Structure 1
Amino acid sequence: MNSMPLPATQRDCMSAATKRYKYLRRILKFDQMDFEFAFWQMLYLFIAPQKVYRNFHYRKQTKSQFARDDPAFLVLFAAWLCITSVGFAIVLKLGFLQFMNFLLYTVFVDCIIVGIIIATIFWFVLNRYFRQKTEVQDVEWGYCFDVHLNAFFPPLILLHFFQLFFYNGLINHEWFISRLLGNTFWLVAVLYYMYITFLGYSSLNILTKTHLIITPLPLVITFYIITLVSGFNITLALMYFYKNRVV
């Protein structure tokens, strides 16, 4: 007796579970990862992020999924978190235990937990309100997480790496130029995140009205101007927060 065919949603669920299993199974097999291509993606997220998403479409055509199937990008991302955390430890003069606490907080809270929350929110909202009514295919949760990592990488390098070179000598003061430089770093980082997130979802033909993702842009710029006028140095405030949470 032939078994009844599985519903489409159940087949999709099983397929997603299989993809996650294969992805996690490869996460410690460094010899099977394409680190050169992952590094290429990180570079192009700065200079031409739209080219990164062209590869996501190619993966969809060849492997029937938008989300990454190679954990090399995630491994390199974690490596950058470790490197930048060392920089923070030096700038903030953290002890070894404080550095380890900061590193664990950055990796598991700032990156993984926050990333899971943001990806889940986008996954739910996009599938519920932005997906075309005639589309059966939905937005993969793994793709939402990839979009978050893509969008988070340039801000990570700007705020947790390049900004550190200016902190003690220039940003860590009450001068106007100090908050101008520090707050501009944050403005550029937020704009990068919004733009790369917008590119990620606007490249999906199954979604509509993705331009709404960048509608908060005027509010971001207005807040930036207010911080300059009011004398609020965002970098100083966040540095105090970073240091207080590990002390």
Structure 2
Amino acid sequence: MDFELALWQLSYLCLAPRRVYRNVYYHKQTKNTWARDDPAILILLFGCLFVAAMGWSVVYSYTFLDAVKLAFVMILRDFLLVGVIIATLLRLFANKVLLSPSSHSSPTDSSVEWAYAFDVHTNSFFPFYLTLYVAQLILLPIITKDKWVCLLVGNTLYLAGFAQYIYGVYLGLSALPFLIRAEILLAPLLPLFASYVVSLLGFNIAIHVLRAYVG
């Protein structure tokens, strides 16, 4: 497992995500697959989520057993289960809607692999993780206060997290040369931003989400 490459990819997913997807072409030429064949980045993400779970557990005074349960929830539900669902939907949508007409003649080489769709989820999840699992924890004393400016900070954090994820999905699929109209994947940004604007009228997203998530 190449942890050095995985760390490089995680860093550039935040700094310059397009550079990560430039390696997709090289990987396809050398390994004949668009998807990663190295689980190092998954192991690093599992570790990141475990650390985040411990941090949230300290803040909310969880017992050790509750902290471990929270770690499993973050890894198994938030990342893996959601990732499996999103990867499946992305693959179906991309191969049905975004596939270039000329690509149908060679479906093996010119179709979105499920593993690649999961890679796209993985890549998109890391900036999302930094925003809503790490930054939100750091800003917790601010975003949970009953003040409008605190509501603004918290809701903007959620806007940024989900916008980063959506943009990451777009970058991942638009990197494939046989897909067209990938801009459609940016469409969820419109209702996301509209919901954000409405929420500024007095709905503190962070308070409601955290109440349901960690009690």
User: Which residue does the alignment assign to 1:198?
Assistant: 170
1-structure distance, mates of 2:151, 2:131? 16
Stretch of structure 1 that moved more, 127-136 or 148-157: 127-136
Displacement of 1:182 after TM fit?
0.7
Gap regions ≥5 residues in structure 2? none
User: Which residue does the alignment assign to 1:62?
Assistant: 30
2:56 is the alignment partner of 1:88: yes
User: Which residue does the alignment assign to 2:151?
Assistant: 179
For 1:188, what is the secondary structure of its paired residue? helix
Q: What code does the residue aligned with 2:211 have? A: Y
User: Which residue does the alignment assign to 1:153?
Assistant: 126
1:233 alignment partner, one of 192, 204, 207: 204
2-structure distance, mates of 1:54, 1:61? 12
Gap regions ≥5 residues in structure 1? 1-32
2:37 is the alignment partner of 1:37: no
Q: What code does the residue aligned with 2:74 have? A: T
Displacement of 1:221 after TM fit?
1.0
2:72 is the alignment partner of 1:101: no
TM-score, normalised to structure 2, is 0.94
1:122 alignment partner, one of 90, 96, 105: 90
Q: What code does the residue aligned with 1:145 have? A: F
1-structure distance, mates of 2:99, 2:150? 44
1:187-232: per-residue Cα shift (whole Å, max 9, x none)?
A: 1111111111111111111111110000122211111111111x11
Q: What code does the residue aligned with 1:97 have? A: L
User: Which residue does the alignment assign to 2:193?
Assistant: 221
1-structure distance, mates of 2:25, 2:102? 20
Structure of larger gyration radius: 1
Identity of matched residues, %:
37
Runs of 4+ in 1 over 6 A off after TM superposition: none
2:211 is the alignment partner of 1:243: no
Q: What code does the residue aligned with 2:85 have? A: I
What is the correspondence of 1:202-213 to structure 2 with a 5 Å cutoff? 202-213=174-185
